[in-house]
Amino acid sequence: MRLYDTARQAVVPFEPNELVLMYTCGITPYDATHLGHAATFISYDVLQRRLIDKGHTVKCVRNVTDVDDPLFAKARQLGVHYLDLAAGEEARFERDMAALNALPVHSSPRASSAIPDIRGFIGMVLERGFAYEAGGSVYFDVSKFPSFGTVSHYTEQQMLEYARERGGQVDDPRKRHPLDFVLWHPSLADEPSWDTMWGPGRPGWHIECSALALRELGTTIDLHGGGSDLIFPHHECERAQSEAATGEPFVKHWMHTGMIFMDGHKMSKSLGNLVFVDKLRTEWDPRAIRLGIIEHHYRHDWQWDDTLMPRNAARLHAWAATSGESGVVDEVRAALDDDLDTPGALAAIDAAAAAGHGVHEAAALLGVTL
């Protein structure tokens, strides 16, 4: 199998041991699952299915970011406790994933469960000289980590722009460098707070995933996934602090999914240009939704349009009308082994179905039960 590695900027062999350790950045549970979320997690689901088909055991961890600014803001707006809001939205997300026939993950740890782990992790980073305290916060010192930037390959100016856009607080006067990022910081009056030797507060965004990955999977993992919007700052910072803490490589392979656009803009909760999975499920067979996602290559951006669902409902009907089996499953395996080429896999199955050959086994490899 060959997959694109973001850090190496190339399609390279992905040849893990029998046990594959995989971590994917999960949801911040403050609203319903939109198609962008679903596309990310269904892409990794197809990868897991092919790895299992090849004889691997996959230990996939997908976190839940239930300590984060957007969740607190939404809970504040609704007048509810942030954990109550998170629990409800997490349950809705799991229902959507089950409807789309996503395999169960090994674990879905919540950031709120990891506060002791996070405190210990920050202590390791401080002890090894990669962080500093200032004004009740703890910051990672990027000047002490010379390879900072080698996941994203962005210039310093690009990193500063993305950090400014994505909550990096580049103008924080307590920082030694604008790209330094927070590991721990004081909470606002109505936010949760935990005691530490550096003062009361809560963890920064990036440290949560590092601590959970270490706790659930160990020092070095085979593959780390997430949307391409997480490459910087989240994954860049995650790698830096993890390797600073342990002194060992954090990730062997970085795999990122493209963005879905609607009306010319990336689907996002902040813009409100969203297609929600639970609403789609009231109108369309969830199998057609899954097909609509995987007809696009996982790492390419694509545009939502109103032809997507009718086209894939028709595809599902054509596949389901076949009987018997054919050799197309081997074509599907070959496509998936070539940088998870799901469009190529669908084209092979479409051709087999049009020729009157059975495609049930091949469809099942893509997570579509006919």
End-to-end CA gap in the chain? 26
pLDDT tens-place string over residues 183-197? 999 999 999 999 999
What is the distance of C-alpha 93 from the center of its chain?
14
Domains and CATH numbers, the chain: 15-261 (3.40.50.620), 284-365 (no CATH)
| Phi, psi (degrees; rounded to nearest 5) at 16 | -75, 170
Neighbours of 66 (CB within 10 A): 25
pLDDT tens-place string over residues 13-68? 999 999 999 999 999 999 988 999 999 999 999 999 999 999 999 999 999 999 99
**284 and 316 Cβ atoms separated by less than 8 Å:** no
One-letter amino acid of 293: I
**359 and 319 Cβ atoms separated by less than 8 Å:** yes
Query: How many CA within 13 A on the CB side of residue 264?
Result: 0
DSSP conformation letters of 272-312: T---BHHHHHHHS-HHHHHHHHHTS-TTS-EE--TTHHHHH
DSSP conformation letters of 227-250: EGGGIIIIIHHHHHHHHHHHSS--
Question: Residues of the chain with pLDDT > 70: what percent?
Answer: 100
Give dist(CA 169, CA 237) in Å, integer.
Answer: 14
Please provide the average confidence, as pLDDT, over all residues in the chain. Answer: 96
pLDDT tens-place string over residues 264-313? 888 877 777 899 999 999 999 999 999 999 999 999 999 999 999 999 99
CA distances from 187 to 45, 69, 184, 262 (A): 36, 10, 9, 35
Give dist(CA 183, CA 133) in Å, integer.
Answer: 10
Q: Say if pTM beats, i.e. exceeds, 0.85.
A: yes
Confidence of residue 252 (pLDDT cuts 50, 70, 90): very high
